[in-house]
Amino acid sequence: MEAEDDPHALWPEHLVRLARTLDGAGAREKREILGQFWGILHVALLRYARAHARRMGRLSPEDVRDVVSEKASDLIARLDLKEWDPGAATPALLRSFLSTTARNGVVDALRSGRREVLVGDDLEPRGGRGIESATQEDAVSVDEFVRALVGCLDVLSARARRAWFLRVFYELSSAEIARHPDVASSPAGVDAMLARCRDHVRTCMESKGLGSHDLPPGTFVRLWELTERDRAGLGVGS
């Protein structure tokens, strides 16, 4: 279902456009373009590699990531050296090329005897896990929960909120969060910041008669929208 290409997807065209702007860009601008290109290229390759891995064999999520990491690094290096010119391709051709690249990586990995393990969560297609869709009642309670949580998070600084979000939803380590440009701190500083956040959120949610241990489905996307606003407030582009 989701492995099929969405004809309305914007990212392939965006990558083509980014590649075209590389020519004539200054060193600083070039770095920014390559940074943007790299991020989208990576998630696009992951999307294809997972789809191929689901069909062809059983690679661990870690091995799929390694395959993609190698392929993405290689492509970025070739783009930087002008050995690969996605700017000359159509979005459809680019997609096809990336899918083939991911497929080749997966095939090579399977041939070279990469470890076969149980398929991880992130290799499973959606809809096959028996997760029930949220009912209207659920939606109401999630809305209440999120409103309460947002109220509690609101008193934190945008930076602290971002650090909390990166830990709770993306499970980034303190070192990674410290390195994040929205946070820019030391790992110890992040640990202290997160400890304060956790204490505050727990106390605040308890004062509203709610726990903060299990975040109900729907919480992530609602908070993601808010943090995107925070990011815009911090002046961080995507």
Partner 1 sequence: MSAHVSEDRLIDLAAGLLSGPESEPALAHLRACPACEETFRGVCRDLERTRLRAAPSRQRVALIGTVAALAAAVLAAAVVVPLWRSSRAVDPRAYWIPIETEPVDLRAAPPAADDALFVQATEAYRRHDARKVVELLAGRAIPEAQDPVRLLYASALLKTGDAAGTLQALEPLRIPSLPQPYRDRAKWVQLGALHALSRDDEATALAAELAARSGEFADAARRLARTP
Restricting to residues 31-50, name those near partner 1 by CB under 8 A.
31, 34-35, 38-40, 42-44, 46-47
Nearest residue (CB) to partner 1, 55 versus 115: 115
Closest contact distance (angstroms) between CB of 24 and partner 1 is 19
Residue 95 has which token pair? Answer: 């997609």
In the list 58, 84, 200, 217, the residue contacting partner 1 (rule: CB under 8 A) is 217
One-letter amino acid for residue 182 of the chain? D
Subset of 50-69 contacting partner 1 (CB under 8 A): 63, 66, 69
Report, in Å, the least distance between residue 214 CB and partner 1: 13
Scored b (16 or more CB within 10 A) or e, 113-144 reads ebeeeebeeebeeeeeeeeeeeeeeeeeebee
Binding mask 108-137 for partner 1 (x = CB under 8 A): -x--xxxx------x---xx-x-xxxx---
In the bound state with partner 1, the residue whose beta carbon lies nearer, of 181 and 209, is: 181
Residue pair 64/53 in contact (Cβ under 8 Å)? The answer is: yes
- Three-state DSSP at 39 gives helix
Nearer to partner 1, 119 or 200 (CB): 119
The residue among 114 and 197 lying less far from partner 1, judged by its C-beta, is 114
DSSP secondary structure string, 161-227?
HHHHHHHHTT---HHHHHHSTTT---HHHHHHHHHHHHHHHHHHHHHTT---SSPPTTHHHHHHHHH
Query: Please, which of residues 151-210 interact with partner 1 by CB under 8 A?
Result: 166, 169-173, 175-176, 178-181, 183-186
SS3 61: helix
Q: Does 102 bind partner 1 (CB under 8 A)?
A: no
Token couple for 11: 């990212």
Question: Closest approach of Cβ 206 to partner 1, in Å?
Answer: 25
Applying CB under 8 A, does 233 fall inside the site for partner 1? no
